[in-house]
Chains A and B, each alone.
Chain A
């Protein structure tokens, strides 16, 4: 069981949800719900549709490049099962998520600091 990413909005497709479309050139597209599927059929570019993660990352509204992203990579060589390693992996996953959360917050604040200055300016005017 794998959680795939939706092609359109990049949200997780849990098993039992969504649809998968296979094109004639054998490229597969997963959709988390019919909203994404319909948008895809309308040939909309996810990078131009405001509520998708692709748009947000392209426009720099969300963190796109970071070392925390390198932890999650699809590896094609299976690692022999080891209980300890599995335990380490799980705790590492959680820690990485925490760090990423903190970084996201900082990213947001960084983005918004100009807005704070602007608000101050408006207040001044008033």
Chain B
């Protein structure tokens, strides 16, 4: 079933816009640069490409438009007729035809100009040709301005037509203006059609959908029809007539017997007779509307006769209803739907396809397997209630929607929780909630509805964690049994262990003397270790490469100058020069360290017994001795300390060091505010140790 949806037609641009689109596209998508210096073939192909491209673009666009619009011969006759009424078939076809011819013309143009371009001999000539070609194409398009505008209007209107499926179940509502067709539509479907007291409120077809017997139905509301011959009908009426003519549907012809619409019953009956041919193959229901104003029974007998005669003559049903009181509305709907369904089924049965379906259907009746009678079970309370007449469909007035506002206390009505069976009003949780203060204040304690073995347990606080373990991991209905098994196992294990452990002695196998000896030895070892630690000076150690390698200590005798000379001469080498150089090197090293020269003995003065002052003097003398010894024979200058550079001589140097020492002297007992030194407040116990279970900001 094709659902006609004309929304997919792409928008038709105006002529001016079309020209813009085409030309900008050409400019963007083709190369733009050409120079007179290029080869002529290149220039020609450049311009030919432009012309061709423009032609192609226009073809695409115009072709697209023509394709998109529906062809009146190919669509359902209802839509074809509708479009004819609304847009005039001839005009429509003409517009599309014009566009098609424009397309053809442009093709021809392009061909001609490309042929001409093949013989263009300069850039200028080619350019002029291209300009001419494009210009003429655009003129052709501009000439179609009217067609474009018309087609755009058509497209807009077309996309707004109601999506009608001409093949599905449809109910058509028709009659004079103002008889109550749109009101009926509103009642039956979810549509919201305008209902106003003036005639021709509904100006076009409206479609609504409803459900009946689990099927989807379309209800079409038409504009009112007046009684005059076909030729004099205006567009609006023609739409209804078209619908009537082409759609396979059930027709509901509305008659307003109260004559509130402004037309007499006679007129309405007359209209019916004149459009009767349109009802030829259709199910018809004549609906007498507005019976709340004028009940059918008390109607004027002549009018009544007319209406009844209508019913008999056309062999259709006559039904009464009122939109205002809603009596009979549903009946009318069901009747019409059932009639249509029946007609459709009958139609299908006649056809060939039915046999396929019938063969697929097999109806089984369950056979009774024994003689037992199985009655339906109805609880007693329900039987009693039924007898009392309380169970049945109640008229439910729909509650007024509050459109997004919060529910307040006033909206709460306690009367829709009447217990159907017992008839009492049951107090619901919502009522309790409102009593206790409202939604934010009170919330129901769901624990009271728990179903446990013992009702005392309902409000217990359930423990979750104990001793770093989850209790839920241990909960088990068989836990007692398992525990008993474990206890047995443990007893068994302990017994076994005792038995095995009798042979073992965990005590030491030495006697007390030996024990004492062992402990004494261990103590001594510990002391020695400690002493070694203490004897290490708390200073930086010179690296071995300077100090002397450990292994070289054993080799020292070998590196003695006499031994070296001996070995080298043994090998047959001239040893004197080598030994001299070695001595020089050693001397250099020793000078830097301040050690005594090779050959010059350093007096070992016992410094332990001297006082501080004497020690200082001794040191100074030693240094000066060294300096004196060095200053006599120096082959190269000694490197100065960085702090001593810039000082002229030794006196200045002495002054500088003295001042340096003075500034470093601490003022003890002379502490004022400016002399306080800030200590770092790191507490040992807080800032030492490994980080265990904490952060990295603190320990």
Q: Is A82 an interface residue (CB 8 A)?
A: yes
Q: How large is the interface on A (under 10, 10 to 19, 20 to 34, 35 or more residues)?
A: 35 or more
> Is A92 within 8 A of B460, CB to CB?
no
Do residues A12 and B477 form an inter-chain contact, with CB atoms below 8 A? no
Q: Which residues of B contact A106 (CB under 8 A)?
A: 497
Bound-complex Cα distance A3 to B463 (A):
13
Please state if B471 and A96 are interface contacts (CB–CB under 8 Å).
no
Q: Is the CB of A74 within 8 A of B510?
A: no
B583 within 8 A of A: no
**Residues on the A chain within 8 Å of B468, using CB:** 3, 12
Chain A residues in 8 Å Cβ range of B473: 72-75
Interface: A2 (CB within 8 A): yes
**Residue numbers in B under 8 Å from A53 (CB-CB):** none
Measured between alpha carbons, how far is A103 from B486 in the docked complex, in Å?
12
Q: Are A79 and B691 in contact (CB under 8 A)?
A: no
Stretch in A20-28, A39-47, A83-91 with 4+ CB within 8 Å of B? A83-91
Minimum CB–CB distance from B512 to chain A (whole Å) comes to 13
A12 to chain B, nearest CB (A): 5
Residues on the B chain within 8 Å of A75, using CB: 472-473, 475-476
Taking a contact as CB atoms closer than 8 A, the residue among A12, A86, A89, A124 that contacts B510 in the complex is A124
Kindly state whether residue A97 has any CB partner on chain B within 8 Å.
Answer: yes
Q: Which residue of A lies closest to B485 (CB)?
A: A67
B645: Cβ under 8 A from any A Cβ: no
Within 8 A of A (CB), among B447-475: 452-454, 456-457, 460, 462-475
> A59 contacts the other chain (Cβ, under 8 Å)?
no
Query: Given A72-B474, A74-B473, A92-B479, does the pair A83, B460 have CB atoms closer than 8 Å?
Result: yes
B409 to chain A, nearest CB (A): 36
Report the Cα distance A12→B691, complex, angstroms: 17
Q: Which residue of A lies closest to B460 (CB)?
A: A83
Most buried by A among B452, B471, B486, B506: B486
- Also in contact, A89 and B482, with CB within 8 A (given A1-B464, A34-B696, A67-B489): no
Does B693 touch A at the CB level, under 8 Å?
yes
In the complex, A58 has a CB within 8 A of chain B: no
- The CA-CA distance from A80 to B451 in the complex, in Å, is 9
Known: A82-B452, A124-B510. A90 touches B483 (CB 8 A): no
In-complex Cβ contact of A120 among B457, B463, B470, B508 (8 A) = B508
Please tell me if the beta carbons of A81 and B474 are within 8 angstroms of each other in the complex.
no
Query: Nearest Cβ in chain A — how far from B124, in angstroms?
Result: 66
- The answer to the question of B522 belonging to the interface, with a C-beta cut-off of 8 Å to chain A, is yes
Q: Is B480 an interface residue (CB 8 A)?
A: yes
A 43-73 contacts with B by CB, 8 A: 67-68, 71-73
- Docked complex Cα distance between A123 and B512 (Å): 12
Does B518 sit within 8 A of A, measured CB to CB?
yes
Tell me the A1-20 residues at the B interface (CB within 8 Å): 1-3, 12
Q: Are A86 and B462 in contact (CB under 8 A)?
A: yes
**B596 CB to closest chain A CB, in angstroms?**
47
Chain B positions within 8 Å of A90 at CB level: 463, 466, 471
State A49–B470 Cα separation when bound (angstroms).
Answer: 27
Q: A81-B452, A82-B452 are in contact. Are A71 and B482 (CB under 8 A)?
A: yes
A49 CB to closest chain B CB, in angstroms?
A: 14
Chain B residues within an 8 Å CB radius of A1:
464-465
Given A83-B460, A90-B471, also A123-B518 (CB < 8 A) = yes
A interface with B by C-beta (< 8 Å): 1-3, 12, 32-35, 67-68, 71-75, 79-83, 85-86, 88-90, 92-97, 99, 102-103, 106, 113, 116, 120, 123-124, 126
Kindly list the 9 A-B residue pairs having the minimum CB-CB distance in the complex, ordered from nearest. A92-B483, A72-B473, A123-B518, A126-B521, A83-B457, A12-B468, A126-B518, A89-B475, A92-B479
For this complex, 10 residue pairs linking A to B, each with C-beta atoms less than 8 Å apart, are: A68-B486, A71-B474, A75-B475, A86-B462, A95-B483, A99-B490, A106-B497, A123-B508, A123-B518, A124-B510
Taking A34-B695, A75-B473, A89-B474 as given, write out 20 further A-B residue pairs in contact, using a Cβ cutoff of 8 Å, ordered by the A residue number.
A2-B464, A3-B468, A3-B469, A12-B468, A33-B693, A72-B473, A72-B474, A73-B473, A81-B457, A81-B460, A82-B457, A85-B475, A86-B471, A88-B480, A92-B474, A92-B483, A96-B483, A96-B486, A106-B497, A123-B510
